[in-house]
Amino acid sequence: MTITKHFERPELKTLRQLVRQGEGQQLEFKLKSNHPDKIMKEVVAFANSDGGKLLIGVADDKELIGLKYPDEDEYIISKSIEKFIFPKINYRLEKIRLDNEKEVLIYDILASENKPHCLDLKGIPDERKIFVRSADKSIQASKEVKEILKGKKKDKGYKFAYGEKETLLMKYIDLNKEITVKKFSEVAQIQKKIASRTLVLLVLAGVLRVNPSEMEDTFSMI
């Protein structure tokens, strides 16, 4: 009796392992490319954050569905990246054929050194939007996050003066682990714009980290 062993292709095995991780800070699934505006939001967020992989042809429940006409999806997505994202981003594309003969597209979006990147769907510069990645979501960047992205691009070697408000800030974070702009302004009894500017500077100086959120960003020690 002859026993035939079927070995899974290495690239398909790697894909299954990747999908099993589920969506997260650096991984997003999309079933198809019929809503390129939503896909571009994910692309911009990855480029503005730590980079990530965008899988087209995978359902939210981790099922590998694949694309029947992958060349069409590739054309739509690649053209959208070229047309709607400013400045241009760097990415790699890999195609993996499934057992059902359909394909999954893997867009590997590189963490950019030219942040922030904007999404411009209307062709109106004043309405361009900046997105960042927060866990498994791509969210619109707050004023503070935008300033941090722009500041990191300048790479000035930021310094700050450690005064009364900074002392109050550190004591609060030591007790509560994190703080918001609003809470800092209340604790230090300063204007919100001063609280905002101080927190941004401390992030740029490498003292704090910002944790983007749909509701309200928080700041914590690195």
One domain, residues 151 and 201: yes
One domain, residues 18 and 110: yes
In a domain, 2, yes or no: no
DSSP the chain: ------PPPHHHHHHHHHHHT-SBTTEEEES-SS-HHHHHHHHHHHHHTT-EEEEETB-TTS-B--BSSHHHHHHHHHHHHHHHEES---EEEEEEE-TTS-EEEEEEEPPPSSPPPEE-SSS-GGG-B-EEEETTEEEEPPHHHHHHHHHHHH---------HHHHHHHHHHHHHSEE-HHHHHHHHT--HHHHHHHHHHHHHTTSEEEE--SS--EEEE-
One domain, residues 48 and 155: no
Q: Tell me the residue range of the domain where 183 lies.
A: 146-221
CATH number reported for the structural domain that contains residue 85 in this entry: 3.30.950.30
Domain count, the chain: 2
Max Cα distance, the chain (Å) = 83
Tens of pLDDT, residue by residue, the chain (222 residues): 444 445 578 999 999 999 999 999 999 999 999 999 999 999 999 999 999 999 999 999 999 999 999 999 999 999 999 999 999 999 999 999 999 999 999 999 999 999 999 999 988 888 899 999 999 999 999 999 999 999 988 877 788 889 999 999 999 999 999 999 999 999 999 999 999 999 999 999 999 999 999 999 999 999
Where is the domain boundary, 115, 140, 165?
140
